[in-house]
Structure 1
């Protein structure tokens, strides 16, 4: 095996598959240097042909390589919450790699030839954790980890050599040769574009581009004082409880209360009675007064244990960022299996909280201004950019506020430029519906039921489509009925074709988050809201009105009956810019784009009976009803749609303006004159 080739070592520990890649070679002076990462911090996600690495010079990285001590290799660290102390990082797993070294001659030769470079110091003593290639990066044992800037030109030209004239040379600004760029412009067929996409050596940003996770925790004295105060407060009201467990989280600490016995003086269980849970829950205000904290939250039964949970805010919250979750071994296992992995943050017990947006399948995000809603949207987008290439995911972003999602303009993952005009957003939604129906036709022709089965059988993968809307209220003000119908249609039919929606709003009122939208968005994320009414609108339960803000949220996925409390991961503008700049300069080939204007002008796509000027959400139902009737009256609309007379009269006027019914006469129904087909 050549010295410049990458050698990957796969190991299994605790059911979690960890992939470790190490690359070393000698430079011209004969000194060993690391080749795992270039100056730009890229990680290769695609194999290169033989000979593509001969002329590539590997720069020496700034970070030191993982040290090898004897036959023990430290491969992962776990974010451990130590009860009564602080949140610390402890090395827990060590792997004996003797068997792997014997089976991999290339790895063995590197160690034997570089025995002088082996250090006896412990990795745990280093300030910075060693960088390892995550399992979710799709790296196999035959995939060399090569910088995409250095190897992209040679590999890409070799793959599409049939299109490139031999007498052309030179390199363009984006890192690809001018001959290759001109050849790509001549490719017009969809099969050729897909072949070029698959041939391109896609790489992923390095996790080192993200800020390191901060340290913090809760002091032992604070935990002991809070536990004693809770027990004393309830004992003053004749309620016997003991603090059975404590789970330290970044923002709140969960104290598990075990109900005691009434009449505690006797030892006979026949004469004693257990304290009722409702009795503890009814003393919520008394406990809040004793703790001087109005934002405590009760959990009647903690899942997996027989205690009553009470969440108390920490005196000094611990910041949580995106890398806090990505450095955990749970994330490595999750990112490998999930189609759209997203790291949301850390739970109230200090455990990482992750979500697969392909299984959600549609998510509604709500929160007041400044509660962390927009940061959550950025965390979702950036987390997906760290783990998925444009072959796996394409995005459509609608940002009426013009400032939250526009920084992602220019990345290859975008299926269309970021949309900021509400009128153009309606056209984009129509184009997505047309794209969804085209995908259904493709699945039907292939004889499969969903996108997962199609990608398993097809040579060219069908990427997942993610629609992100940062402010739903602005779109509903423009054309509420049309936006609602298009979103509902995408939500009802999009899962099988890989179309997923993430819709955010800061005003979760019933006129924005309508019943149809709530019914088709089963997963909810709620940040701090102003009232219990808003909390019930988004979560169908109270609790969001007591959140602390700054990323504190309640997360309720489709598979949980009760929401869980999560401290959302913070993402700085510098981290966003670094990730976006990486994808802008990756030198991607031309990718298929969503034609918004063509779909909007397509007559076959127009929705029957829909009026552009209609503002009532029931207009579609009224027009469908008129299609099956020869005459239509206001009283019939009242009975069928179960609405009052004023709204039914307005609907009748809108139907007349749309040319569906004729003018009215006193005491007589109106004639249906429009052909809705």
Structure 2
């Protein structure tokens, strides 16, 4: 729409310009004739210029996404400059083209200020307009003149001094002995060295100052890397569910407008401080781009060719002190670029509301039912992802990092997209605090599980549900849940809803039944994607005994909020950086198939808003729980069938060796049976399941139970 208006505006102003130049009805018609005639009468000679000014203003309005103070200031200055030109025109020209507006202003002000006062006003307006429009700074001009003057004087004095020394040396060579000559030569060399050194410093200062004064920060409002990922989100007409009304964004609190403007002078000052501090540590380079966002400002620093990246990383604390920041994060290097990212918290944080993100077209028109709202990126643009493409998510963050706020935003975005017929949730909350407010919503498969033993059973039965779905899907020859549901609609078969399993604290489950939980999560993360079952697993303590290698290997998509130590960041993200986050929902996200980290800021939602949405959902439909997911018998039967069907041919031989020799290690069975390590490990697992061997203790040893 804006493009159409711009084209019409350009066409109109071109017509007005032509009408002013060719004031003949035969060329421009009666409308053009009147436009041209009255333009000349009102504006005089400026009638030939003002359409071009209006054309420039139209283009500026088109390019401006929102009207900030800088745009308003420049608009007022242009109007003021135009008026002052009209007045100057009236004072200079006394003919028909002096302009009615200028004549009116001059006539009324002449008796008050006189012609000299009006000329002073016109010249002052001219000066102010040029200073604002071209960003001229008197202080910089003044110091530049002083520097140029001092440098010229210095060069002149140096030349005079060199000439004087040369003449003096010739005279002394003719009249003094060799000893005195040697002393004079030494003095001359010393003086020359000092002069050369000082001159070099002066020259460097001049170059550096000119570089600083001429450089201006380029503030970018879009991230190309994020744009590529968001292009994978398919937009279109979203089909509304039948028999169920999705919640409206009116249930959420009104977004409070925040007037947080980009302070370019302050950003330039930070750039200068950053470059000075890096220069002190002999790190040369330049800031080529700046990204200003709701929480942080990011500087892209391009180091010189001789600078090692590791040297910049070691200066994180020094740079934080120099920039007066609580913490900074250095991304060195940014993948795919020859720059280093330096992220600094803003002085004032912008509150990110969930409502504005849910109302954004990127979410509301996304055709993916499992679209998750993650938050805003470092330039303030919405960032969403499709859980079906992740296909699972591992989350870490300490208490107070905003992890719960981020998970609530993900849950609410799922509830805003899906009816209970299309999506079922299984929530596991061993802490008994985070998910209690979601109890009895119609999307739940079971009441929010707070008991660790029940959680283990539910996860085991979720594996059974996955296998059941695959058996049905294989009979009708489809590869995924979308293909199955399309055939199910035409063949009157059972519809498979998406199932999202959300675990709030993995550490509690791993402490009680680590091996069973690890087995279920691994099986689901390896195979459940095509069946429509997805995992969101969160933990406060991302240590290696909680987030094991097997779990990490099958959960490539990860989010880390602020963590306490560098090693925690390394465990969850395979890189450092999460320890330098600032909390309040600040996160690092690793999308699948990408080596880079994306910094995002989670939206805020209050408990009152969640209660409104929950009550709205509960009022529409009564929840129907599926208690089959808590039946332990099903899980045991399934496990027995799995192991009985797959017992190794050497199982009985291995059992006799263990009982007779009283040795139960994998390597021992490997040697005795002359088999590979993996096969021996599988046999040991079967012996453990059939209660021949115990679970390994802290030292890895097993007891023989028979």
TM-score category, normalised to shorter length? 0.5 to 0.7
1:82 deviation in Å? 9.4
Corresponding pairs, count:
460
The corresponding residue for 2:362 is: 330
1:221 deviation in Å? 3.3
CA distance in 1, matches of 2:668, 2:476: 45
Are 2:370 and 2:414, in contact at CA under 8 Å, matched by a contact in 1? yes
1:138 deviation in Å? 5.8
Gap runs ≥5 in structure 2? 5-61, 72-233, 672-679, 695-701
User: Is it true that 1:580 corresponds to 2:628 in the alignment?
Assistant: no
Change (3 A) 1:579 1:671: closer
Are 1:544 and 1:554, in contact at CA under 8 Å, matched by a contact in 2? yes
SS of residue paired to 1:595: helix
SS of residue paired to 2:604: coil
SS of residue paired to 1:631: helix
Q: Deviations over 1:546-605 (max 9, x none)?
A: 1111211111121321221111111110111111011000136x7573512335456532
The corresponding residue for 1:226 is: 270
User: Is it true that 1:206 corresponds to 2:245 in the alignment?
Assistant: no
Give the TM-score of the pair, scaled to structure 2: 0.58
The corresponding residue for 1:634 is: 663
CA distance in 1, matches of 2:597, 2:572: 11
Change (3 A) 1:81 1:535: farther
Structure with bigger strand share is 1
Q: Deviations over 1:227-274 (max 9, x none)?
A: 1111222233343333222111111111122345xxxxxxxxxxxx67
SS of residue paired to 1:559: coil
Q: Tell me which of 609, 619, 626 is aligned to 1:593.
A: 626
1:661 deviation in Å? 5.8
Between the two structures, name the one with larger relative contact order (CA 8 Å, sep ≥ 6). 1
CA distance in 2, matches of 1:225, 1:452: 54
Q: Show the 5 A alignment for 1:435-446.
A: 435-446=465-476
1:205 deviation in Å? 0.8
The corresponding residue for 1:266 is: none
CA distance in 1, matches of 2:483, 2:2: 28
CA distance in 2, matches of 1:213, 1:655: 60
CA distance in 1, matches of 2:592, 2:503: 20
SS of residue paired to 2:388: coil
The corresponding residue for 2:592 is: 558
Give the TM-score of the pair, scaled to structure 1: 0.61
Q: Tell me which of 336, 357, 379 is aligned to 2:409.
A: 379
The corresponding residue for 2:318 is: 286
The corresponding residue for 2:391 is: 361
Change (3 A) 1:661 1:500: closer
Q: Deviations over 1:480-515 (max 9, x none)?
A: 111111111111111110110111111111111111
CA distance in 2, matches of 1:672, 1:225: 71
Q: Show the 5 A alignment for 1:249-648.
A: 249-259=293-303, 277=309, 280-293=312-325, 295-302=327-334, 306-333=338-365, 335-336=366-367, 338-459=368-489, 461-587=495-621, 593-598=626-631, 600-601=633-634, 603-607=636-640, 629=654, 630-632=656-658, 634=663, 636-638=665-667
Change (3 A) 1:597 1:244: closer
Are 1:204 and 1:386, in contact at CA under 8 Å, matched by a contact in 2? yes
CA distance in 2, matches of 1:592, 1:78: 54
Change (3 A) 1:534 1:283: closer
CA distance in 2, matches of 1:290, 1:672: 63
CA distance in 2, matches of 1:81, 1:249: 15
Are 1:81 and 1:248, in contact at CA under 8 Å, matched by a contact in 2? no
Are 2:371 and 2:414, in contact at CA under 8 Å, matched by a contact in 1? yes
SS of residue paired to 1:254: strand
Are 1:84 and 1:218, in contact at CA under 8 Å, matched by a contact in 2? no
Structure with bigger helix share is 2
CA distance in 2, matches of 1:78, 1:552: 30
Are 1:137 and 1:204, in contact at CA under 8 Å, matched by a contact in 2? no
Gap runs ≥5 in structure 1? 1-10, 15-76, 87-134, 144-197, 261-272, 611-620, 643-647, 663-669
